[in-house]
């Protein structure tokens, strides 16, 4: 599509949803029409003005109901009401009822996050892969595990993880408490025996004292998980230029970034998956990036989930390169070009892809989209490693 000129109906087109082939999304249909007899109800001259108003309300209500029915898919997940929207990030992340956030618990969790004694060789901490000065990633294509061996996936940031419903690229954890212990116990990551960890930390007076203060018990794996989760819930990114723009500051975005925003919400269709406060729908898609990792299928066991991975948040995306679950895309330009060129036509098992070239616009628009993606960065969080017990 040529976007170098503005068509007479450009505003109308942008107000409609782009027609991309995503599951649960359906192409725009023709407007509903009503038989003359039905429309004549509102024009009968013998009715009183009050009755006219009542009939008009009923007709309008029925029309809205019919339109809602028309845009609901016949099967699969219900389509969200209206066009997906962008939204500001809440200032605090919700805590589960059984793990309320307290200052003492956050302090303890911060110490544990930076403590290499959580690993089997006492050399690897959570911060060994989630560097505060790298937007809590490691900026490597793939994480490094025991003895510096590359793992199979890229390190996701833990910033804003308190808002996620599924953790890890494959969504195998559904809470930060569940997520916290998995890397610690993983043989290829931190390779720690949890029984041994409880004993080791209980023998450190500073930790034993803090656990008694916070949990009224000695060191337990449950307390470790809850403390780490509480700390991670405080890692919330600050407002971005996009947030300021959506709040009414029209000078917050450059002209290039504003054109990119129009593409993002309009013809490029990025907002279909990257929406809401996190700029992620939190769902799992098969894009054909790699066929070596089964992704979501390793969690659900379902063939239909093979090669699906969670939509990442785009907040601070410019600081978390490289990209994709396997770190195969080095720059934002590479990522956008990947979508413009189109994804592979087939993957093992002839499983269908969730999108077929996602973008069909002009390559000249790539700089605008990249400028917009750069506007999703906020001032870095200043987290100073604490003194350990």
Where in the sequence numbering do the catalytic residues fall? 189
Q: How many beta carbons lie within 10 A of that of residue 130, not counting itself?
A: 24
Cα 175 to Cα 178: distance, rounded to the nearest angstrom: 5
- The neighbouring-strand residues paired with 73 are none
- The neighbouring-strand residues paired with 167 are 173
Q: How many beta carbons lie within 10 A of that of residue 267, not counting itself?
A: 20
Cα torsion angle, 262, 266, 272, 277, sign: positive
CA distances from 50 to 47, 53, 203, 362 (A): 8, 5, 81, 55
Tokens of 2: 């040529």
Cα 330 to Cα 121: distance, rounded to the nearest angstrom: 31
Cβ–Cβ < 8 Å for 59, 311: no
Q: How many beta carbons lie within 10 A of that of residue 332, not counting itself?
A: 20
């Amino acid at each position: 599509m040529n976007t170098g000129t503005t068509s007479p109906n450009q505003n109308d087109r942008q107000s409609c949803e782009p027609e991309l082939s995503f599951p649960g999304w359906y192409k725009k249909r023709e407007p509903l029409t009503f038989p003359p007899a039905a429309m004549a109800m509102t024009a009968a001259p013998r009715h009183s003005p009050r009755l006219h108003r009542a009939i008009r309300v009923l007709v309008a209500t029925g029309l809205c109901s019919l339109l809602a029915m028309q845009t609901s898919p016949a099967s699969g997940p219900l389509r969200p009401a209206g066009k997906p929207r962008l939204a500001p990030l809440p200032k605090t992340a919700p805590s589960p009822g059984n793990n309320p956030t307290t200052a003492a618990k956050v302090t303890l969790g911060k110490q544990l996050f930076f403590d290499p004694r959580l690993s089997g060789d006492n050399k690897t901490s959570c911060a060994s892969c989630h560097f505060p000065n790298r937007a809590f990633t490691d900026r490597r294509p793939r994480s490094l595990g025991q003895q510096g061996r590359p793992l199979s996936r890229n390190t996701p940031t833990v910033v804003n993880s308190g808002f996620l419903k599924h953790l890890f690229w494959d969504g195998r954890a559904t809470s930060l408490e569940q997520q916290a212990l998995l890397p610690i116990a993983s043989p290829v990551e931190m390779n720690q025996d949890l029984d041994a960890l409880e004993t080791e930390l209980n023998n450190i007076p500073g930790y034993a004292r803090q656990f008694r203060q916070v949990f009224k018990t000695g060191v337990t794996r449950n307390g470790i998980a809850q403390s780490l989760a509480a700390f991670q819930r405080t890692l919330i990114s600050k407002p971005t230029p996009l947030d300021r723009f959506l709040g009414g500051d029209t000078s917050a975005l450059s002209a290039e970034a504003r054109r990119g925003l129009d593409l993002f919400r309009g013809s490029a269709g990025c907002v279909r998956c990257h929406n809401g406060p996190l700029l992620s729908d939190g769902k799992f898609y098969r894009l054909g990036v790699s066929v070596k990792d089964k992704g979501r299928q390793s969690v659900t066991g379902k063939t239909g989930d093979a090669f699906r991975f969670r939509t990442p948040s785009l907040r601070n995306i410019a600081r978390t390169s490289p990209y994709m679950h396997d770190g195969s895309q080095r720059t934002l330009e590479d990522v956008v070009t990947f979508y413009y060129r189109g994804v592979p036509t087939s993957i093992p098992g002839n499983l269908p892809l969730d999108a077929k070239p996602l973008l069909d616009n002009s390559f000249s628009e790539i700089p605008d989209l990249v400028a917009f993606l750069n506007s999703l960065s906020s001032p870095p969080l200043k987290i100073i490693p604490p003194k350990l017990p």
